[in-house]
Amino acid sequence: MVETAGNNRNAPISTRAILLLIVITVGAFGLRVANLGRRSLWLDEAVEAEFASCNLKRCWLADANVPPLNRTILHFWTRAFGKSEFSLRFPSVIFGTLCIPALFFLGRRLFGDKVAWLATILFASRPFAIEFSQEARQYPLLVLLTILATHCFVKHMQQPSLWIMACYAVCAALGLYTFYLFGFVLLTHIAWYVMPGEKTTRKTITLASACLIAAIAYIPWTPMLIKALGHQESGWIAGPGLWAQIYHIFQSYGPGISAYDLRGLAIPDFAHVSTLNDIRTRIYICSKQPLAKFIAIVSIYSLRELLVILGFIVPFIWGCVIAIARKGGKSAFPVVTFFLPLVILAALFWWVPVVTPRYMQFIMPAYILLTALFLVRMWRTPAGIAATVSMGVLLCLSMFIYYFSPSYGKEDYRAALRDVSQGSRKSDIVMCYPDYISSAVQYYYHGPGAFVPLHDLKNDGFHLPVNQEESADTKHPSQENGLARFAARPGSRVWAVVRGTSSQSEKERLVALFSPHYSQMKHKRYEAGRGIDVYLFHNEAHKPASPDGHPQRDAESK
């Protein structure tokens, strides 16, 4: 494609274009800040909030599984602006919004103005990008640093500059301190550079120097990296197969929502509506009834999946072909950026769900640029029209569900712990299962009862004072565990907050732990995303009597 004057990648940007870019950026900021504090913090956000509230040393060294840059930013941010949900998530809004102009300049340098403008609009309105810009996590910062580092690299390849490579070294070091997989971004740059092509000694020296500076800056974190590599903790994550994960990438990076699937999209699925379950019956009816023919064909793959294929996969693959074919393949850099990390990670970690949309967000800018390249080249063709219509349908549905569906979300700790805080008494104890959700439980629990970890509750040394003469350190010689002694207290109650992803057998084991000591159990489930279960264990005989002489009843529904 011949570059025209209006599509020149190196021409100075006009004032009018700058104003339009500001308008798009402000609109993207509005989408990301809307309803920012509406949903509860979910588990990973609560963990970030817990570490950010610690002292700076613990903030850096307490968890080796995630590099510390994002929580360090939250550490200083929350001290200045508080620890509310809105405040914790606002830095992600800033980073997610800054991705808009950064992607515009990267796309302009790679493919010209038209592709840059379309990619900017696609990214600004992408529900997946909006969703993670509204979470107190490191992913928006990861995407921003990926775009900035890639832009510096591309500009250096065109116009070598010490200043540009100094910026590249800073972005590379910050990216490594943001997320471990950012190293694949640098690997992609190095792999592209060593491919056959024009190279100069100056380019080689400056790029090597920038990478060396980033590596030296990363040395202090190297012991934690080694510790993380020796930690086999990710195996507990239940994920789909490799091909399903790759398919979810196309679902999510297109106009879909959620890092998990499109579970909120209420698009008709004829495979479930129709009773034509036998494929031979479908083929027979196809020959008799034209309308049934359409239903039978669509029922093989649901309408949702057809829209995913037409709107996500086909445009991207076609965009890759266009990029490779342009100018001897020099524009194929985003293709390598997308596929090289995906192939390497799939080969190294095929048994662990690492290739998931949220972890792979550093390849999302390449996906969007290649999709925009297809739409710019093919928008007047039937394929371009079909892709545009499919994207538009899913984008509208996804945006509506994300902003207005009360059931869309992850764990609703806020509602569950609000009821526990209001219903608990000073003599109660609150525990959680599994123990790793304690960060979220303690963030939202503000009741008078004590929070006690489950392993402490089962410990023989656990004891709470029975009367004012006893202290918390008093020990009673007994063969019973701490739970049995606590259950013997008049009016004792235990609130158990359980994460919805726990299996039914795990919940049954938890109930079995308390059943020998408590005659009554009441249960309530908070439906939001994966849900939260709250169990209240107590003995009716131990409850204080009401004024009419009958035992008081709890207001919780069974």
Q: What is the longest distance spanned by two Cα atoms in the chain?
A: 93
Structure tokens at 342: 């995906």
Return the pLDDT at 472.
Answer: 40
pLDDT at 116: 95
Domain layout of the chain by residue ranges = 8-230+238-267+302-404, 413-542
What are the backbone angles phi and psi of residue 431, rounded to the nearest 5°? -135, 170
**Run of H or E residues at 365:** helix 364-378
Reduced to 3 states (helix: H, G, I; strand: E, B; else coil), residue 58 is helix
Across-strand partners of 197?
none
Which token pair is 555? 């207001």
- pTM for the complete prediction? 0.84
- Whole-angstrom Cα distance, residue 558 to residue 551? 18
DSSP track, 491-516: T-EEEEEEETTS-HHHHHHHHHHHTT
Residue type at position 494: V
pLDDT value at position 21?
96
pLDDT (tens, 9 = 90+) of the chain, 558 residues, equals 333 334 556 677 888 999 999 999 999 999 999 989 888 998 899 999 998 888 888 888 878 888 999 999 999 999 999 999 999 999 999 999 999 999 999 999 999 999 999 999 999 998 889 989 999 999 999 999 999 999 999 999 888 888 999 999 999 999 999 999 999 999 999 999 888 777 778 888 999 999 999 999 999 999 998 888 776 554 444 455 677 778 778 878 876 654 334 443 333 333 333 333 444 454 454 455 555 555 554 444 456 666 777 777 888 999 999 998 876 556 789 999 999 998 888 888 776 667 888 889 999 999 999 999 999 998 888 888 888 888 887 788 778 778 877 666 778 899 899 999 999 988 888 988 888 899 999 999 999 988 888 776 665 444 443 333 333 444 443 434 667 777 877 778 899 999 887 778 878 888 888 888 888 888 888 876 668 899 999 886 544 433 333 344 444 433
Enter the tokens of residue 191: 């792999």
For position 406, what pLDDT does the model report? 63
The pLDDT, as a whole number, for residue 477 is 38
